Each structure stands twice: as C-alpha cells, then as structure tokens.
Structure 1
Amino acid sequence: MNTTLIDSEPCALRAWAEGRINFLELSEGRIIGFQSDRFRILKAASEEELKKVTVEVNGFALRWEELDEDLTVEGIVAGRFQLPLPEVAA
C-alpha cells in the first residue's frame, strides 16, 4: 500500500472561534486551539470577524473571506505562526 503526503497531512473537519482563540477539530479526533494574535491579519480582526472562519480545500485550509486571509491546517498544527506569543505582564 502506498502512502502519499496527502494521507499524512492534518485535515480539519470544522473550525470556530471563541473570543480571540481559534479552534480546529481534526479528522483524527484532536481539537487544537491557537491565539488569533499569532497572525498579523487575525490580530487586527474583531471577534465577530474571527467567528466567520470556514474550512476550505477539503479540510486542508482555513479561510476568513471578509479579512482575505487563508491559513493552512498543516502550518497551524506544526506551529508555524507569524508572530511570537504575546508577553504576559508579571
């Protein structure tokens, strides 16, 4: 049996936002979350805009149409973010 790259890439079944945290439910059962502030365009978006995320490309991408922003599920799962974690005040 041959295994292709597509077979091993993470695939999202659904995506949603709660406040400024985005969540993905992956086809293998995991649910992961990431801070919107880790991406330039999402950092500037309102919570209402963040809620308008859709799963695209057969589960391999996320899309925010109003923001004209696309992210790959693989990049999110691998932790390839544009911005560092915000510093927490002590």
Structure 2
Amino acid sequence: MKPHHHVSDLKFENDFLIVTIDGETKRYALKEISPILLNAPTAARNIFDISPSGYGIHWPVLDEDISIDGLLGIRHAPHRKKESALSNRLAQ
C-alpha cells in the first residue's frame, strides 16, 4: 500500500507543531488545531504515532488524533450511499 502522505520530523516549538509532510516543513499554531495539544505537558506531546499509511498522527496518552489532510486543508466530499434496485423498489 502506497502511503497517503509521507510524514516526518514532527516536533514542538513552544505552542507550535512543526512537521514535514511530503518533503515540505509546515508550522501550525496549536491553538488553531488542537486545544488538547496546546494544554498538554511536553512529555505527553512527545509520545505520538504516525500512521504508516500517512493519514494521521495519534497521541495515545492524550487520546488525540489529527488527520494530515485536515492539517493541509484538504476537504473530502461526503460518501454517497449507492442505492440498489431493491431499495428503490421498496421505497415506492
């Protein structure tokens, strides 16, 4: 499976998250992305897992998750439920 994003070099500087996503280093104000991370102690902030698929970052001690697409501002259209011939017939 090809990773969705390549995430590396995650660190914190004061109240900012600094992370390299797909080779580009980005800086995010914690107050804009996660009040939990903003108020967390440094030790808890530094215990995280990067999803092997590149979809997100998880802080197990804080039970906090951030999606990479969310950080990048990528919005996905909601999934539409496909209707079957049977469900159409039952609705009539």
- Relative to the length of structure 1, the TM-score reads 0.63
Structure 2 residue aligned with 1:32, among 5, 26, 31?
26
CA RMSD of aligned residues (A): 2.5
- Segments of structure 1 that go 5 or more residues without pairing to the other structure are 1-5, 81-90
User: Structure 2: how far apart are the matches of 1:31 and 1:49?
Assistant: 22
Q: Which runs of 5+ in 2 are unaligned?
A: 76-92
Instruction: Give identity over the alignment, percent.
Output: 18
Q: Which amino acid aligns with 1:32?
A: K
TM-score, with structure 2 as normaliser = 0.62
- Determine whether 1:50 maps to 2:62: no
Q: 1: CA distance between counterparts of 2:49 and 2:27?
A: 15
- The count of corresponding residues between Structure 1 and Structure 2 is 73
Distance in 2 (CA, whole Å) between partners of 1:34 and 1:69 is: 16
Q: Which has the higher contact order (CA 8 A, sep 6+)?
A: 1
How far apart in 2 are the matches of 1:25 and 1:79?
16
Give the greater-gyration-radius structure (CA). Answer: 2
